[in-house]
Amino acid sequence: LLSILTDIFMRDRLDELVSNQGELVTPPPIQVSDWAEKNKYIQHLVKRYNKKLGDIMKSSIDSYGKRIVPRFPPMQRRKIMDDLTAIFRYFKAATQFIHKLLVDG
């Protein structure tokens, strides 16, 4: 149950980061305590059993997330320029340079 709830939390956290990607400032990541207040599974545990079980699950998810499951890194702030044309031009120029050195001796 703990791993399933942690997975749901991580997916919800990622959904929040992706949905706010267009904004200039990346929002602070969602916290377990805030998430648990809205999560239907945690709320079901609280209603069916008691609030103490909900609190135990919140702290367990937080602890499990810090110790076992790596958090997703924040969104990148820089765009990687991955144009292959420039790379091929570089290789072409390098091979032509080496060829000229070999021919000219």
Identity at 29, one-letter amino acid code: P
Q: Is the Cβ–Cβ distance between 105 and 99 less than 8 Å?
A: no
Weakest-pLDDT range from 19-28, 51-60, 73-82, 95-104: 19-28
Check residue 14 and report its DSSP letter.
H
Regarding pTM above 0.85, the answer is: no
Orientation angle between helical segments 51-67 and 40-48, nearest 10 degrees: 140
Each residue's pLDDT tens digit, 8-29: 888 888 777 766 555 534 566 7
The torsion region of residue 20 among left (phi > 0), alpha (psi -120 to 50) and beta comes to alpha
Rounded CA gap, 99 and 88, in Å?
Answer: 16
End-to-end CA distance of the chain: 71
